[in-house]
Structure 1
Amino acid sequence: MGVPMRTTALEEILRGAVPGVASAAVAVIAVDGRPVMTAAAGEAARFADASEALLPDRPPVMPDSVFDLASITKLFTTVVLLSLAEDGRLGLDEPVAAWLPAHYGHRPEITLRHLLTHTSGLPPGRRVGEEPAQSRWDVILSTPAQGPLGTHTYSDVGMITAGRVAEIAGGASLDVLVRERITDRLGLPDTAYRPGPAVLHRVVATEHKPERAGPGAGPGCVRGEVHDETAYALGGVTGHAGLFSTAGDLLRFGEMLRAGGDGVLSPAMLSEMTRDHGVPGAAFRQGLGVRIGDPAIVGPLADALGHSGFTGTSLVVDPARRLTVVLLTNNVHPLRGRPGIRDLRTAVAAEALRLSG
């Protein structure tokens, strides 16, 4: 008889959260770029619909399962824009009107830096989908400001706009820019918008959305297409949401942020991205696209930086402690509002702190 394998503390944390917080969870903790603990728990697809009826076939989640990153996409959009700035394609303090004159010509005070620090005054969100597809981008880009310039209001609209600026300045669609400027350079094979059929069996399910069912399809949970309603209505490729990835790929991206740019950004530009921009009104310190010391994400790693995603994802990087922490879950499966994701993020961060010595 073989000797049973010892359960790690990280595995115990994830198993304690499944299936109550999420039906699937994968986490990786790295110190000095070396993964020191990895765990996966749960099922990639558990529920058939909002009634929480169980699927007859419930594949286990694996370390290489593919998750909808949701707002962690904003970090990739930011890196693309900073890369374009280093190439001289745009300036962070130039008006957005330089690229979007039809939509921002009457508000030249708003700069790209305002968009990346969530200080543009634009509202948190704006739903589209009822309009004809060809007019949805115009609706989003025409969104009026609802708050004062310079004060923090977390805005998906702002990051969607930033992504559109990247496309104009970069001369390519955002998915191509992410691939050329980030994923190809870092070797991230599983990070992309709109995952194809070759990886669909590894994609983790999210929310029950019967309105997404196609002809002849019954109502069910989303799997393989973006969860975010606005990103979906805009075609799945946007600056605020839409990327899918694995824990291994996201760890590699986080290591780029921790270790100095890794050929994607210069150390000076990375420092500009990750410094405190002194934004008033935020519950944390705001960098360019990145949050610093956000208690909802970093737990006891008070000076760590990163971002979370609405689907139940988070990336935390603590350069001082040489830590990178990835947590991927589907907290919205089959319905949003499942409690406990903040506690889970805190528990994983606390285990990372312990492992850092």
Structure 2
Amino acid sequence: MKRTLRMVVAGVAVLAVSAVPAVASAGLGTRGGAGGVDRGGLQPALDGVAAGTAVGALAEVRAKEGVWRGTSGVAVMGTSRAVPVDGSFRAGSITKTFVATVLLQLVDEGRVRLDDSVERWLPGVVPNGRNITLRQLLNHTSGLYDYVRTLAMPPSPEFFAGRWRTWTASEQISQALAHPPTSEVPGSEYSYSNTGYLLLGQVIQKVTGRTYRQEIERPVIRPLGLRGTVVPGTSPWIPGPHPHGYVPTDLTLTHYVDYTELNPTLFGASGNMISTTKDLNRFFAALLGGRLLPKHLLKEMKTPGTPTRNYGLGLSWKTTTCGIRVYGNDGDALAYNAWSFSTTDGRHQVTIALTPNFHGDPDTAVNTFINKAICG
């Protein structure tokens, strides 16, 4: 779900954290790689991510020299248990790239058009739906209020009380639509909205007769052999080895609860996916390499909705310090954060995931790691 949830939690916590020393990242000596050449200090860069903002971190980097995998920090808070180098994690908004890929495959099949209105497929659901297109849902220019902003957040009791609740997309959409839009003219402004992807999940089901979960599995996960990737539906568990994720239970950030397990319908089509570093690198290599979409639709995917944002149709990009542009996405699933980026030729790839401790924003350290991975 991008990093909306983490940012909300951090925004609340920062009110009190200035007077509280940050907890040390336990077990920074607990780290390792699973083969491959550490090109110019990937391990120290990963340690830098874990040192300030994470309980644990894991990464896979692919380059001409080969594949490097590494970990840092610990898998379980308060122990010395190493983060599994092949561990699974909640991928958050990287799910959006999968959803966008499925929708664009339907466009390629002539079953739907990017400029179809929301009203065309979901009549009566969205006010002003006649003037909002599927393209605008994909690139976050619809102006629809983000449903995440309607949710209770830790450390409120309401947040913890809803841990096992099963959410439906319809009720989350209704909560969002009770608020005015963020812009009066659809398509005119970028405003990140998870609500748009809940609607896209419903459109996919309307067009195909199958859930977005089934559609991601059928033409993407299975053909690519993404054995560590699942769309869990209502299942609260993360299969296979994995680091544990945590959320704070007070504003001082001195007490945490293990939030590895929860009902993931909270995230829906905007972020309900579990994956691995290996699988995400494989997915983006296939996507950018033209295995999943024809060239003209991949070009559409890379086209920004507004000139001031590096976000196209479920795909974002950044320019590294060495001038190389990389495409991918990042995601927040509350107790897990992930980033996955690749060059267009797939020769340089990096995926990193962490379990945050909410002491600051990890973006700076993660960007340093991504630049190291791509530029050497």
Superposition TM-score tier, normalisation by shorter sequence: 0.7 to 0.9
The offset of 1:248, in angstroms, is: 0.5
Q: CA offset at residue 182 of structure 1?
A: 0.9
In structure 2, the partner of 1:61 is 83
Give the direction of change, closer, same or farther, for the CA distance of 1:180–1:225 in structure 2 (3 Å limit): farther
Give 1:346 shift: 1.8
- Per-residue CA deviations over 1:268-296 (Å, capped at 9, x if unaligned) read 3222212x33514x4x3221111232x7x
Instruction: Find the partner of 1:84 among 80, 84, 106.
Output: 106
SS of 1:315 mapped into structure 2: strand
Tell me which residue corresponds to 2:300.
272
Partner residue in 1 for 2:122: 100
Residues 1:197 and 1:313: Cα distance change in structure 2 (over 3 Å)? closer
2:285 to 255, 258, 281: 255
Structure 2 matches for 1:288-299, cutoff 5 A?
288-293=313-318
Matched, 1:206 2:219: no
Change (3 A) 1:287 1:63: same
DSSP 3-state at the match of 2:131: coil
Matched-pair contact (CA < 8 Å) for 2:119–2:125: yes
Give secondary structure in 2 for the equivalent of 1:193: coil
Counterpart-to-counterpart distance in 2, 1:90 and 1:321? 29
Q: Is the 8 A contact 1:71 1:307 kept in 2?
A: yes
**Other-structure match for 2:206:** 168
Separation in 1 of the partners of 2:325 and 2:119?
35
Partner in structure 2 of residue 123 of structure 1: 145
CA distance in 1, matches of 2:51, 2:259: 18
Mapped partners of 1:322, 1:6: distance in 2 = 15
2:174 is matched with: 139
Residue 255 to residue 101, structure 1, CA distance change in 2 (3 Å): same
Task: Tell me if structure 2 keeps the 8 A contact 1:13–1:347.
Answer: yes
| Cα distance change of structure 1 residues 112 and 13 upon mapping to structure 2, 3 Å threshold | same
Q: Secondary structure at the match of 1:316?
A: strand
Question: Unaligned 5+ residue runs, structure 1?
Answer: 47-53, 211-218, 227-231
Q: Which has the higher contact order (CA 8 A, sep 6+)?
A: 2
Cα distance in 2 for partners of 1:270, 1:191 equals 22
The change in CA–CA distance for 1:239 and 1:42 in structure 2 (over 3 A counts) is same
Q: Is the 8 A contact 1:299 1:347 kept in 2?
A: no
Give a deviation string over 1:310-347, Cα, whole Å, max 9, x none: 2321011222683221111112x4xx3x2251122222
- The 1:124–1:236 alpha-carbon spacing in structure 2 relative to 1, beyond 3 Å, is closer
Checking the alignment, whether the CA contact within 8 Å between 1:68 and 1:244 is kept in structure 2 is: yes
Conserved in 2, the CA contact under 8 Å of 1:10 and 1:38? Answer: no
Distance 1:312 1:171 in 2: 32
> Which runs of 5 or more residues in structure 2 are unaligned?
1-34, 153-157, 250-255
Give the fraction of aligned pairs with identical amino acids, expressed as a percent.
25
The answer on whether the counterparts of 1:317 and 1:324 sit within 8 Å (CA) in structure 2 is: yes
Preserved contact between residue 322 and residue 375 of structure 2 (Cα < 8 Å) = no
In the alignment, the residues of structure 2 paired with residue 251 and residue 101 of structure 1 have an alpha-carbon distance, to the nearest angstrom, of: 38
CA distance in 2, matches of 1:100, 1:349: 40
* 2:342–2:348 CA contact under 8 A, matched in 1: yes
Q: Measure, in 2, the Cα distance between the counterparts of 1:167 and 1:237.
A: 17
The residue that corresponds to 2:42 in the other structure is: 10
Aligned counterparts of 1:256 and 1:140: Cα–Cα separation in 2: 36
Residues in 2 aligned to 1:85 and 1:205: alpha-carbon distance in whole angstroms: 38
Cα deviation per residue 1:124-166 (whole Å; 9 max; x = unaligned)?
Answer: 3343588995662451474542213221111111122122212
Q: 1:106 to 1:258 in 2, by over 3 A?
A: closer
Task: Provide the residue aligned with 1:229 in structure 2.
Answer: none
The Cα offsets for residues 34-58 of structure 1, whole Å up to 9 and x where unpaired, read as 8432212222221xxxxxxx2xx55
Aligned residue number for residue 238 of structure 1: 268
**Residue 299 of structure 1: how far off its partner (Å):** 5.8
Choose from 232, 246, 256 the match for 1:194.
232
Q: How many residues align?
A: 315
Q: Which amino acid aligns with 2:171?
A: R
CA distance in 1, matches of 2:37, 2:349: 21
The SS at the match of 1:123 is coil
Distance 1:158 1:6 in 2: 40
Q: Which stretch of structure 1 is more off in the superposition, 161-170 or 196-205? A: 196-205
Aligned position for 1:343:
364
TM-score for the superposition, normalised by structure 2: 0.74
Find the residue that maps to 1:89 and give its secondary structure: coil
Instruction: Give the match for residue 50 of structure 1.
Output: none
Using the alignment, how far apart are the partners of 2:48 and 2:366 within structure 1? 13
CA distance in 2: counterparts of 1:94 and 1:68, whole angstroms: 31
Alignment of 1:31-70 (within 5 A): 31=63, 35-46=66-77, 54=78, 59-70=81-92
